[in-house]
């Protein structure tokens, strides 16, 4: 069994036994058709591990804090799906060039106060970024949360993410690729 398969097994076990705030049950995994429609709407493919989370474990409803967002359809608790948020954020960035949304950066989990964990679909391992819109300018709103989605998931499972007591005081590095990945950069 590969390291990723082992990680998916750990995530699935945790997803079956815990519910993030606001989720009553674990949604069914997305179908291959839903995954294909989501990727077509986005204009890019999901990193393999993210696609596996949605297609093998559930359509959101597991993970740190408020859990993963639903991918494309039917928000069970009022949260807009990840694809809808991405498309809205990209369009909003066109209207407000001071706050552009980077291409290929999919919001996957809401932290509250407008903050999101996002996966950089253009990076080799799905770098997880923190979008913190309470900064005074867009250049200071993006941080590297984890170098890969696998590392981010391990941080959640092991209780070592920046948002956990064990991770308190961790300084996140600014995301240096922000300007190069936006229309105004």
List, in sequence order, the alpha helices (H) in 43-184: 48-52, 82-95, 149-158
Q: Is the pLDDT of residue 168 over 70?
A: no
**What's the whole-model pTM score?**
0.91
**Number of domains into which the chain is organized:** 1
Q: Considering the chain, what is the average pLDDT of its residues?
A: 89
Secondary structure letter of residue 24 according to DSSP:
S
Q: Is the pLDDT of residue 185 over 50?
A: no
**What range does the domain containing 16 cover?**
3-181
Closest CA to 102 of 121, 79, 84, 82: 121
Residue 26: both structure tokens together:
């674990």
Q: Is the pLDDT of residue 129 over 60?
A: yes
CB 112 within 8 A of CB 65: yes
CB 72 within 8 A of CB 81: yes
Please report, for the domain that includes residue 171, its CATH number.
3.40.1580.10
Give the Cβ contact number of residue 183 at 10 Å.
12
Mean pLDDT score, 106-125: 94
Closest CA to 62 of 17, 106, 107: 17
pLDDT, tens digit (0-9, with 9 covering 90-100), for 34-61: 999 999 999 999 999 999 999 999 999 8
pLDDT at 158: 93
pLDDT, tens digit (0-9, with 9 covering 90-100), for 65-99: 889 999 998 655 567 899 999 999 999 888 888 88
């Amino acid at each position: 069994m590969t390291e990723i398969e082992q990680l998916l097994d750990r995530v699935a076990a945790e997803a079956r036994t815990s519910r993030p705030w606001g989720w009553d049950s674990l949604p069914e995994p997305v179908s291959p058709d839903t995954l294909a429609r989501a990727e077509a709407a986005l204009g890019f493919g999901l990193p393999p591990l993210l696609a596996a989370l949605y297609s093998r474990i559930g359509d959101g409803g597991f993970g740190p804090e408020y859990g993963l967002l639903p991918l494309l359809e039917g928000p069970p608790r009022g949260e807009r799906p990840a694809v809808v948020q991405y498309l809205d954020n990209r369009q909003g960035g066109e209207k407000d060039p001071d706050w552009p949304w980077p291409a290929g950066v999919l919001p996957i989990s809401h932290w509250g106060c407008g903050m999101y964990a996002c996966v950089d679909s253009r990076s080799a391992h799905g770098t997880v970024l923190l979008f913190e819109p309470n900064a005074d300018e867009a250049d200071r709103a993006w941080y590297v949360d984890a170098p890969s989605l696998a590392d981010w998931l391990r941080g959640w499972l092991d209780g070592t993410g920046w948002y956990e007591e064990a991770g308190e005081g961790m300084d996140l590095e600014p995301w240096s690729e922000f300007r190069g990945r936006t229309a105004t950069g």
